[in-house]
Amino acid sequence: MSLTRTELFVDGHWRKSSDGSTFEVVNPANGARLQAVSDATAEDVRDACQAAASAFAAYRKTTVKERTAILHKIRDLLLESKKEIGEILCLENGKPLAEAEGEVGFAASFFDWFGAECRRAYGQHIPPPAGDRQLVTVKQPCGVAAIITPWNFPIGMLARKTAAALAAGCSVVIKPAEDTPLTALAFAAVCERAGLPRGLVNVVPCSRGRVAELGRLLCAEPLVRLLSFTGSTAVGRLLYRDCADAVKRIHLELGGNAPFVVFDSAPLELTVRGALAAKFRNTGQTCVSTNRLFVQAGIYDRFVEALAEGMKKTLQVGDGMVAGNNQGPLINKRQLEKVQALVADAMAHGAQVVMGGRQPPQGGLFYEPTLLTSVSRQMRLYTEEIFGPVVAVYKFSTEEEVIQMANDTNMGLAGYFYTSDYQQSWRVAMALDYGLVGVNEALISTCEAPFGGFKHSGFGKEGGQQGLDDFMETKYICFGGLKL
Ligand code: NAP
């Protein structure tokens, strides 16, 4: 049976929204209508929270062995359905099919990891200050977790949060992005197939017109104990404020403005490969995408030439369902217009277009891979997240200067640098004010390591050993009156 679903998944059942409304999902590669999806109302979201709270009452008592079995079942089903979910993802998000299938594998890796990691949610025995006491801490699931995810990794971000939540013993209410609800609903279908208890996982897509109301509801709803959000800093800030009123825990994975630094000693071929990967995955629409490429004067000309060559040779714009294409469309008109405006602003301030800088002949939501030089701090793309296939190259002279420039942003998610100088590798890694640093490596996100930003890029960690913590409370218990 196919995993395509268009209704809300609440309390283990597929249902239409309470007012019967729907919204359209389109393929960004060609504008074709894919499905009409039920548009959740406040009533539906309240029902989902209630269902999650009821499921939590029983699920919190499961043993870690039982949770491991549930998570690993989901992992297996995701891997078995990689092709089908990859297609759904490619169609609604526009990323190339191979990348989409890779993302399903990435999602499965979090169920693999947290399925094992839940067995290590250790507490502590604390040496007591008095002889008649024993002091311990235990970790407990925090309760119902609300999860809000973006369109750029429709299953990767959802899985990184949901796997940790289920491993911790929490139940979840997931609100996916308007542009990519079908992948989240396919995930719900996988959970149903895995035989999850009713209400443990609920998925309530909604249209952009309703999202602010439903976001406020999730922040205010007393049944929800934690909000885990991935998306823009602007929306994260709103949710943070709303959670403050309810004194609710919040975890924020927000935007980035990644520097990619090329030092004179950098190995050219490896560095160009890294720059292409860090910039052009998902057509530049990733939070850890290179936003500012700083190149040292001694290697500058050779590097820019090799990068342009690499872009010409390896990047192929077109519908992600067609083999060979690796640069899909931008997700929507708003995103395309933002990229166009950033490039226009850079050109107006003196940027040179080495390649691209416009839409390719197929038009639509496609944009040519673009290489800009002579960029400067005055341009909007120095401070704003480009989120498109545009590389902006800056020239620098000294290590001190580039560290200052790299950290000259209120974002702090990912940063990269390439060097052959061993001493410099540790020095610069320590100086970069970022939650994730890649040294001679551009693809650094993996289930085994903690992922999360500094400053306006948010707080909290996903993945790694730390990923469970956000979904757990530490309780201190003092046993007194003991006759030892
Ligand atoms: P976004 O506009 O903030 O949307 C993210 C999610 O929040 C979507 O589900 C969106 O729903 C929802 N949303 C929008 N307004 C809301 C509101 N008032 N209340 C509650 N929810 C609301 O971000 P985006 O454009 O989809 O995603 C791109 C951003 O995410 C970039 O800044 C990127 O860097 C960041 N990101 C960060 C990470 C990380 O791990 N740090 C990973 C991936 C992406 P709608 O779709 O209906 O608007």
276 in any annotated domain: yes
- Which stretches of 81-232 are DSSP H helices? 82-93, 97-117, 156-168, 181-193, 208-220
Q: Is the CB of 388 under 6 A from ligand 1?
A: no
Q: Do 262 and 169 share a structural domain?
A: no
**Nearest-atom index, ligand 1, CA of 233:** 32
Does the Cβ of 358 fall within 6 Å of ligand 1?
no
Our count of domains for the chain comes to 2
Q: Is 93 in the pocket of ligand 1 (CB under 6 A)?
A: no
> Domain of 48: which CATH number?
3.40.605.10
90 assigned to some structural domain? yes
pLDDT of residue 1: 65
Domain assignment present for residue 29? The answer is yes
| Domain enclosing residue 316, as ranges | 258-446
309 and 169 both lie in a single domain: no
Is residue 484 in some structural domain? no
> Residues 432, 305: one domain?
yes
Which numbered atom of ligand 1 lies nearest the CA of 288?
Answer: 34
pLDDT digits (tens, 9 = 90+) for 19-36: 999 999 999 999 999 999
Per the domain annotation, does 482 fall within a domain?
no
* DSSP assigned state of 327: B
Let me know whether 191 and 81 are in one domain: yes
Task: Supply the CATH number for residue 363's domain.
Answer: 3.40.309.10
Same domain, 104 and 149: yes
Helix, strand or coil for residue 147? strand
Same domain, 431 and 473: no
Residue nearest to atom 30 of ligand 1 (CA): 231
How far is ligand 1, taken at its centre, from the CA of residue 56, in Å? 27
Determine phi and psi for 39, rounding to 5 degrees: -105, 105
**Mean of the pLDDT values across residues 343-369?**
97
CB 291 less than 6 A from any atom of ligand 1: no
* Model pLDDT for residues 132-182, shown as the tens digit of each residue: 999 999 999 999 999 999 999 999 999 999 999 999 999 999 999 999 999
Amino acid at 299: I
Q: Best of 148, 251, 257, 290 to mutate for ligand 1, by most ligand atoms within 8 A of CB?
A: 148
pLDDT tens digits along 404-444: 999 999 999 999 999 999 999 999 999 999 999 999 999 99
184 and 296 part of one domain: no
Give 194-239 pLDDT, tens digit per residue: 999 999 999 999 999 999 999 999 999 999 999 999 999 999 999 9
3-class DSSP state of 285: coil
The CA distance from 263 to 171, in Å, is 47
Domain match, 410 and 434 both:
yes
* 287 tagged catalytic: yes
Are 145 and 231 in the same domain? Answer: yes
Q: Are residues 289 and 181 in the same domain?
A: no
- How much of the chain exceeds pLDDT 70, in percent? 100
The model's pTM is 0.97
With a 6 Å cutoff on the Cβ, whether 413 touches ligand 1 is: yes
Q: Is residue 439 part of a domain?
A: yes
145 and 245 share one domain = yes
Share of the chain above pLDDT 90, in %: 100
Question: Which string of b and e fits 280-298 if b means at least 16 CB within 10 Å?
Answer: bbbbbbbbbbbbbbbbbee
Question: 241 and 96 share a domain?
Answer: yes
Ligand 1 centroid – CA 240 distance (Å) = 13
C-beta of 384 in contact with ligand 1 (< 6 A): no
Q: How far apart are CA 307 and CA 404, in angstroms?
A: 24
Please identify, by atom number, the ligand 1 atom nearest to the C-alpha of residue 256: 34
Among the listed residues 253, 368, 399, 462, the single catalytic one is 253
Q: What is the per-residue pLDDT for 484?
A: 78
